[in-house]
Amino acid sequence: MALFKKSKRNKPIQASSLQEIQQITAEGKPVFIDFWQTNCGPCQTMDGLVNELADEYKDSLNVVKVNVANAPDVVSQFRIMSTPTFVLLNDSKNSLRPRWRHSGLVKKDQLSKLVEREGAVLASAN
Protein backbone atom coordinates (compact mmCIF):
# COMPACT_ATOMS: atom_id res chain seq x y z
CA MET A 1 0.00 0.00 0.00
CA ALA A 2 1.42 3.34 -1.07
CA LEU A 3 1.51 6.18 1.41
CA PHE A 4 1.55 8.83 -1.26
CA LYS A 5 -0.58 8.93 -4.35
CA LYS A 6 1.61 9.24 -7.39
CA SER A 7 0.17 11.64 -9.88
CA LYS A 8 1.47 12.22 -13.33
CA ARG A 9 2.68 15.77 -13.71
CA ASN A 10 1.92 17.70 -16.85
CA LYS A 11 5.17 18.76 -18.53
CA PRO A 12 5.94 21.57 -20.97
CA ILE A 13 5.71 20.83 -24.68
CA GLN A 14 9.10 20.70 -26.42
CA ALA A 15 9.02 22.56 -29.75
CA SER A 16 11.74 23.05 -32.33
CA SER A 17 9.99 24.64 -35.32
CA LEU A 18 7.74 27.54 -36.16
CA GLN A 19 5.22 25.09 -37.58
CA GLU A 20 4.95 23.35 -34.18
CA ILE A 21 4.40 26.70 -32.44
CA GLN A 22 1.66 27.57 -34.95
CA GLN A 23 -0.08 24.23 -34.36
CA ILE A 24 0.04 24.73 -30.59
CA THR A 25 -1.30 28.28 -30.93
CA ALA A 26 -4.15 27.03 -33.14
CA GLU A 27 -5.61 25.17 -30.13
CA GLY A 28 -6.95 28.50 -28.88
CA LYS A 29 -5.38 28.43 -25.40
CA PRO A 30 -2.85 31.03 -24.28
CA VAL A 31 0.70 29.86 -25.07
CA PHE A 32 3.61 30.56 -22.72
CA ILE A 33 6.99 30.00 -24.41
CA ASP A 34 10.29 29.59 -22.57
CA PHE A 35 13.33 30.17 -24.81
CA TRP A 36 16.33 28.55 -23.12
CA GLN A 37 19.76 27.05 -23.75
CA THR A 38 21.74 24.31 -22.10
CA ASN A 39 24.59 26.23 -20.44
CA CYS A 40 22.47 29.10 -19.13
CA GLY A 41 22.37 29.39 -15.33
CA PRO A 42 19.25 31.62 -15.22
CA CYS A 43 17.52 29.17 -17.61
CA GLN A 44 18.19 26.36 -15.16
CA THR A 45 16.88 28.51 -12.32
CA MET A 46 13.62 29.16 -14.19
CA ASP A 47 13.20 25.55 -15.38
CA GLY A 48 11.42 24.34 -12.23
CA LEU A 49 9.08 27.32 -12.24
CA VAL A 50 8.17 26.75 -15.90
CA ASN A 51 7.49 23.08 -15.14
CA GLU A 52 5.21 24.11 -12.27
CA LEU A 53 3.26 26.45 -14.57
CA ALA A 54 2.75 23.60 -17.06
CA ASP A 55 1.38 21.37 -14.31
CA GLU A 56 -0.71 23.94 -12.47
CA TYR A 57 -2.40 25.38 -15.59
CA LYS A 58 -2.47 22.17 -17.64
CA ASP A 59 -6.07 22.47 -18.85
CA SER A 60 -6.05 26.12 -19.89
CA LEU A 61 -2.48 27.04 -20.86
CA ASN A 62 0.04 25.50 -23.23
CA VAL A 63 3.55 25.84 -21.83
CA VAL A 64 6.23 25.39 -24.47
CA LYS A 65 9.99 25.11 -24.12
CA VAL A 66 12.21 26.03 -27.08
CA ASN A 67 15.93 25.24 -27.01
CA VAL A 68 17.38 28.12 -29.02
CA ALA A 69 20.14 25.89 -30.42
CA ASN A 70 17.57 23.62 -32.09
CA ALA A 71 15.04 26.13 -33.43
CA PRO A 72 16.62 28.85 -35.57
CA ASP A 73 13.35 29.73 -37.34
CA VAL A 74 11.54 30.26 -34.03
CA VAL A 75 14.44 32.30 -32.63
CA SER A 76 14.41 34.49 -35.74
CA GLN A 77 10.61 34.94 -35.71
CA PHE A 78 10.59 36.10 -32.09
CA ARG A 79 13.93 37.97 -32.33
CA ILE A 80 15.45 36.19 -29.35
CA MET A 81 18.73 37.83 -28.31
CA SER A 82 19.24 36.36 -24.83
CA THR A 83 18.05 33.56 -22.60
CA PRO A 84 15.93 32.96 -20.77
CA THR A 85 13.30 34.87 -22.71
CA PHE A 86 9.61 34.31 -22.10
CA VAL A 87 6.83 35.10 -24.55
CA LEU A 88 3.08 34.89 -24.06
CA LEU A 89 0.80 34.43 -27.06
CA ASN A 90 -2.97 34.69 -26.91
CA ASP A 91 -4.65 35.52 -30.17
CA SER A 92 -7.70 33.89 -31.70
CA LYS A 93 -6.39 34.67 -35.20
CA ASN A 94 -3.43 32.32 -34.64
CA SER A 95 -1.03 35.25 -34.86
CA LEU A 96 2.46 34.88 -33.48
CA ARG A 97 2.47 38.43 -32.15
CA PRO A 98 3.44 38.34 -28.46
CA ARG A 99 1.06 39.80 -25.87
CA TRP A 100 3.94 39.90 -23.35
CA ARG A 101 7.68 39.35 -23.45
CA HIS A 102 10.45 39.35 -20.85
CA SER A 103 14.11 38.36 -20.72
CA GLY A 104 15.74 37.26 -17.49
CA LEU A 105 14.41 35.96 -14.19
CA VAL A 106 10.74 36.41 -13.28
CA LYS A 107 8.92 35.63 -10.02
CA LYS A 108 6.33 32.89 -10.12
CA ASP A 109 3.53 35.04 -8.72
CA GLN A 110 4.09 37.55 -11.53
CA LEU A 111 3.82 34.81 -14.14
CA SER A 112 0.72 33.36 -12.50
CA LYS A 113 -1.02 36.75 -12.54
CA LEU A 114 0.01 37.28 -16.15
CA VAL A 115 -1.31 33.95 -17.49
CA GLU A 116 -4.51 34.25 -15.45
CA ARG A 117 -5.09 37.71 -16.94
CA GLU A 118 -4.91 36.04 -20.35
CA GLY A 119 -7.52 33.43 -19.41
CA ALA A 120 -5.54 30.57 -17.87
CA VAL A 121 -7.12 28.91 -14.83
CA LEU A 122 -5.45 26.80 -12.15
CA ALA A 123 -6.22 23.11 -12.67
CA SER A 124 -8.33 21.57 -9.93
CA ALA A 125 -6.47 19.41 -7.46
CA ASN A 126 -7.38 15.75 -7.81
Catalytic hit among 43, 54, 74, 120: 43
Catalytic hit among 40, 49, 122, 123: 40
40 is a catalytic site residue: yes
64 is a catalytic site residue: no
Q: How far is CA 41 from CA 36, 46, 80, 101, in A?
A: 10, 9, 17, 20
Q: Which helix (H) or strand (E) holds 18?
A: helix 18-25
Q: Is 92 helix (H, G, I), strand (E, B) or coil?
A: coil
**Residue 60, φ and ψ in degrees, nearest 5:** -130, 5
Q: Is 94 helix (H, G, I), strand (E, B) or coil?
A: coil
Whether 59 and 30 have beta carbons less than 8 Å apart is answered as no
The residues that are catalytic are 40, 43
